[in-house]
Amino acid sequence: MLALNSFPGVICGHVATPLDAYTFAQINDGNAISLPFALGFGWGGDLNLEYIFEKLFCEPSGGGYPKERAVPEQRNKKILDQVKLVTYKTMEEILPALDQELVKGAFAGKNFKEYFFADATNESLKAVVKDIIG
């Protein structure tokens, strides 16, 4: 969760229970979740995971919880989103500044090129990745 939240455009929440999933989706309107490894996933763990995803997607996210707090929560989220835009760099800025051998190693996966270039929609990011890969 912490690693993902260090990237621009990512709002990741720690989700261990269906309640976590619902409140994260409604209050934080995030786009990624972090599930705790093996916590609560013994007997009935499959049900816990199923219920987490049910609550995560049971209604459109960002609606607020409790519902009477929706307006101030949405206002606060917009403020925090603006802070992230100012304080976080874009991937196009981050990738060239990292150790290039590390980045090339990350991009060297068996299907990386095939999947990335088939599905990437950000043309400037695609150009940076092409430059790094060579």
Confidence check: pLDDT of 50 > 80: yes
pLDDT of residue 128: 97
CA distance 129 to 94: 11
pLDDT at site 90: 87
Is the pTM higher than 0.75? The answer reads no
Split at pLDDT 50, 70, 90, the class of 24 is very high
d(CA 90, CA 86): 10
Q: How many CB atoms lie within 10 A of CB 25?
A: 23
Residue 34's H or E segment, with its range, is: strand 32-34
pLDDT of 86 above 90 = no
Paired strand residues for 98: none
Q: Where are the domains of the chain?
A: 2-87, 91-133
Residue 28 is given by DSSP the state: I
CATH architecture of the domain 2-87 equals: 3-Layer(aba) Sandwich (3.40)
